[in-house]
A and B are shown apart, each in its own frame.
Chain A
């Protein structure tokens, strides 16, 4: 049997000082919905990297507009799902289309870019991207089963 979706929303300025506030909001919203600590950590990592990308690469249009955050949880047939959507007005960028270069073998070779996207792909069960009405919408989803939910939370 499916449960009704529970949602929370927040709008922030595209500013580095707001990134931690976004994490705090996510943590509070997720704890209220009894999302396990491990899943909150996965979402938090992705949220931080998504916002870092917006700030670093979104351009003036990203910084001049609010960033909208949407959190939801859903449960069906024993599988729980939590998702965060980050919506910004920056330059169109589809992180799913990014192809990382070959992994560096040495410190000299290592390039600073792309780490965040690699981390997001590892942490999330699903990444979804949409461009709509001049905004990027990136959705990060994590899933866990009821056995994971019953383990003690941090």
Chain B
């Protein structure tokens, strides 16, 4: 059976979920990096370098906003871990903000990542933890 797939009929299709990365710096030396879309192999490769560069700040503590992630694969998790490790090694901190993204939170809990990288459902708590 050949399955035809018309993207116009499926506007919410995962085919449209290209990974994107944005960031915002505030006066408290806090940088919020927002990841959206699919963090599968292709998505992680697309944003990986920029994510590493943005996370490698000596000046900023980092909150990674995952609320708009539609999909998180193990390769995406390894990117989070790698950048969190790098921040820690230079004396900084990287925390995760998941909001009400239950699917992403579940994956991070299943893999135990939430016990080694602080994870928060509340944005204010995430910012406070990053700056502590």
The interface of chain A, by Cβ under 8 A from chain B, is 6-10, 16-17, 19-20, 23-25, 27-29, 31-32, 41, 44-45, 48-49, 51-52, 55, 103-110, 112, 115-116, 118-119, 122, 154
Interface contact B112-A103, CB-CB below 8 Å: yes
Interface contact B10-A31, CB-CB below 8 Å: yes
Q: Which residue of A lies closest to B40 (CB)?
A: A48
What are the residues of chain B within 8 A of A31 when measuring CB–CB?
A: 10
What are the residues of chain B within 8 A of A55 when measuring CB–CB?
A: 41
Interface contact B81-A107, CB-CB below 8 Å: yes
The number of residues on chain B lying at the interface, defined by a beta carbon within 8 Å of a beta carbon of chain A, is: 32
What are the residues of chain A within 8 A of B1 when measuring CB–CB?
A: 6-9
Interface contact A19-B116, CB-CB below 8 Å: no
Interface contact A49-B74, CB-CB below 8 Å: yes
Alpha-carbon separation in the docked complex, A10 to B110 (Å): 30
Known contacts A110-B116, A119-B107, A119-B110: A16-B42 contact under CB 8 Å: yes
The interface of chain B, by Cβ under 8 A from chain A, is 1, 3-5, 10, 12-15, 38, 40-42, 45, 71, 73-75, 77-78, 81, 84-85, 88, 103, 107, 110-112, 115-117
Select B14's contact among A24, A52, A108, A116, beta carbons within 8 Å: A24
Q: Which residue of A lies closest to B13 (CB)?
A: A27
A sample of 13 cross-chain residue pairs with beta-carbon separation below 8 angstroms, ordered by A number, consists of A17-B42, A19-B42, A20-B41, A25-B5, A28-B4, A41-B71, A45-B107, A48-B40, A49-B73, A103-B112, A104-B115, A104-B116, A115-B78
Distance between A24 CB and nearest chain B CB, rounded to angstroms: 5
Known contacts A52-B74, A115-B111, A119-B107: A107-B40 contact under CB 8 Å: no
Q: Which residue of B lies closest to A109 (CB)?
A: B116
Known contacts A20-B15, A31-B10: A52-B41 contact under CB 8 Å: yes
Interface contact A41-B110, CB-CB below 8 Å: no
Alpha-carbon separation in the docked complex, A32 to B4 (Å): 10
Alpha-carbon separation in the docked complex, A106 to B40 (Å): 25
Distance between B56 CB and nearest chain A CB, rounded to angstroms: 15
Distance between B77 CB and nearest chain A CB, rounded to angstroms: 6
Known contacts A27-B13, A119-B110: A16-B41 contact under CB 8 Å: yes
Q: Which residue of B lies closest to A103 (CB)?
A: B112
Interface contact A119-B74, CB-CB below 8 Å: yes
Q: Which residue of A lies closest to B15 (CB)?
A: A24
What are the residues of chain A within 8 A of B4 when measuring CB–CB?
A: 28
> Taking each of A9, A45, A55, A110, which has the highest tally of chain B beta carbons within 10 Å of its own beta carbon?
A110
What are the residues of chain B within 8 A of A19 when measuring CB–CB?
A: 40-42
Interface contact B88-A118, CB-CB below 8 Å: no
